[in-house]
Chains A and B, each alone.
Chain A
């Protein structure tokens, strides 16, 4: 019951703060719709659907999924360090730590709102893409795609938590986040199929979880694949999740203990 009250406190606080920046809220919705429209018309202009036979030659739906995924990826990688950073800046972190709350509760509860906000944007991507720009999404694949996204979330939250741990110690976590985000999008096939890349880059892409995650989600949502057909990709994602997530929690715990010991919790 107490945990529920703490979750509600963090969620409500973030929601109110977000709603107090109404212009930012509406601009973010406008940007989402704008990006979809730009991609749609660019595709019409060039209409080059090479390399996309695997995805029914549907470049727009391919990109729409990539865009939605990138929005999630941004949140998964950044929400932990962003939340910590905003608590540093307004000076509330130490005051929160005096209350009976555990550091992992702060970490997870304070990132609930960004996750919900990202989901809201992703829903806009799909709603607008399907309703106004004829994206072809297999309705039967929503549940399976959501499950794959959930496993991917655990993996990338692991990276995000490590980045937050780096922030706790070095007060800068941005380089790791940026490199991970950019390389995942570039090499993992968010905006173009991995096959377009030179051979050397393709090899790198297969050590990145994003490649398996995006391939599985696209196959489910565009080709209507069932769990049996994406099993191999999902298996690899599970392995990533099982290793990365507990490791990230351990690293964060150590970083927190260190910051608490050297007295750098309030520094930024």
Chain B
């Protein structure tokens, strides 16, 4: 069964140019994607490719200009609430929590929004904080958290409602290499193997995609330039993901533009 299906998904914005002029910018252009249940699907692309716009549409934050989205079997236009109940979003953590609440209090707030009864929420939060290694810092104000801790708290929040599909937008952006590696192992071992979730991961770190994703898509200027399994990338020509990425975005190895 498919976890995510998009059909001709399009998003354009109108950017103001001067006092009266507006310019139409197509951020995502007629995207057709299918993500299977239980896979880690990687969305790669350079800055400004449209990755965040696509994730925002899939997570109901942004209304598509055209096309259709089905998430977990629910149509975005008709069943937005049902989609929200079955997904979660993990953003880079620093700017999506309340600084003057502790990690535990932040999670308690979000569990309330998911309608989790407080006695269940309490044990669930403790369990998640332990799982992401924040047990000792659970009662410290969020403003005192390091970037790595903030990111781990974001992961805990992402698992609060036991979602079927987890969207991740540049989740290792602010992590050091060691933390990032731990995070990738956590996704593979716990989220996918143990919990059997579907993960939609937007990243511009090629090694990350290569390491954790079963399939990838390369997005450039709002269009899918490649979509397939990591094995397909290498192919008989023994290409690297880096080669494919450069090919897809139309840039030479030594260009800087």
Contact B112 A8 (CB under 8 A): yes
- Known contacts: A98-B60, A98-B61, A98-B87. The answer to whether A6 contacts B97 by CB under 8 A is no
B47 interface residue (CB < 8 Å to A): no
Residues in A neighbouring B108, C-beta threshold 8 A: 9, 12
Alpha-carbon distance between A16 and B85 when the two chains are bound, in angstroms: 27
The answer to whether A17 touches B98 (Cβ under 8 A) is yes
Q: In the complex, which of the residues B13, B85, B89 contacts A100, with contact meaning CB atoms closer than 8 Å?
A: B85
- Asked if B221 lies at the interface with its beta carbon under 8 angstroms from chain A, I say no
Check B109 against A97 for contact (C-beta < 8 Å).
Answer: no
A91 to B59, CA, bound (A): 16
Q: Which of A9, A95, A263 contacts B96 (CB 8 A)?
A: A95
Q: Is A132 an interface residue (CB 8 A)?
A: no
Name the one of B56, B91, B100 contacting A21, with C-beta atoms under 8 angstroms. Answer: B100
Residue A199 at the B interface, CB < 8 A?
A: no
Q: A150 → chain B, closest Cβ, in Å?
A: 27
Q: Does B188 interact with chain A (Cβ within 8 Å)? A: no
B235 at the interface (CB under 8 A from A): no
Q: Which residues of A contact B97 (CB under 8 A)?
A: 90-92
Chain B residues near A1 (CB-CB < 8 A): 115
Cα-based distance from A21 to B100 in the complex (angstroms): 9
Residues of B within 8 Å of A235, CB to CB, are: none
Partner of A6, one of B14, B88, B112, B118: B112
CB within 8 A of B84: which of A10, A92, A98, A263? A98
Asked whether A95 and B62 contact (CB < 8 A) given A100-B115, A263-B53, the answer is no
Number of interface residues of B (CB under 8 A): 39
* Total A-B contacts with CB atoms under 8 angstroms apart: 95
Query: Which of these, A9, A94, A265, contacts B113 with CB under 8 Å?
Result: A9
Please provide the chain A residues from 241 to 268 with a CB less than 8 Å away from any CB of chain B in the complex: 257, 260-263, 265
In A208-261, the 8 Å CB interface with B consists of 257, 260-261
| Contacts of A1-51 to chain B: CB distance below 8 A | 1-2, 5-6, 8-10, 12-13, 16-17, 20-21
- On whether the beta carbons of B88 and A98 are closer than 8 Å, the reply is yes
Query: Do residues A96 and B113 form an inter-chain contact, with CB atoms below 8 A?
Result: yes
Question: B99 within 8 Å of A by Cβ?
Answer: yes
Q: What residues on B are CB-neighbors of A20 within 8 Å?
A: 100-101, 141
> Known contacts A90-B97, A100-B81, A263-B13: does B63 contact A95 (CB below 8 Å)?
no
Q: B242 contacts the other chain (Cβ, under 8 Å)? A: no
| Per-residue B-contact encoding for A57-101, CB less than 8 Å = 1, 0 else | 000000000000000000000000000000000111011111111
Q: Are A261 and B63 also in contact (CB < 8 A) when A12-B112, A100-B85 are?
A: yes
B109 touches which one: A12, A100, A261, A263 (CB < 8 A)? A12
With contact pairs A92-B98, A100-B85 given, residues A263 and B62 touching in the complex (Cβ less than 8 Å): yes
Indicate if the CB atoms of B100 and A17 lie closer than 8 Å.
yes
In the complex, A13 Cα to B105 Cα: how many Å? 8
Contacts of B88 in A (CB 8 A): 98
Cβ distance B153 to chain A, nearest Cβ, rounded Å: 12
Q: Are B87 and A5 in contact (CB under 8 A)?
A: no
Q: Name A98's contact: one of B89, B95, B105 (CB within 8 Å).
A: B89
Q: Cβ of B114 < 8 Å from any Cβ of A?
A: yes
Chain B residues near A16: list those with CB within 8 A. Answer: 100-101, 105
- Is the Cβ of A99 less than 8 Å from the Cβ of B114? yes
Give the B-binding residues of A (Cβ under 8 A). Answer: 1-2, 5-6, 8-10, 12-13, 16-17, 20-21, 90-92, 94-101, 257, 260-263, 265
* For the complex of A and B, 7 pairs with smallest distance between CB atoms: A9-B112, A91-B95, A2-B115, A99-B113, A100-B84, A20-B100, A13-B109
Contact sample, A vs B, 19 pairs, CB 8 Å cutoff: A5-B115, A6-B112, A9-B108, A9-B111, A12-B109, A17-B98, A21-B100, A91-B96, A92-B97, A92-B98, A94-B91, A97-B60, A99-B114, A100-B84, A100-B115, A101-B113, A257-B63, A262-B14, A265-B62
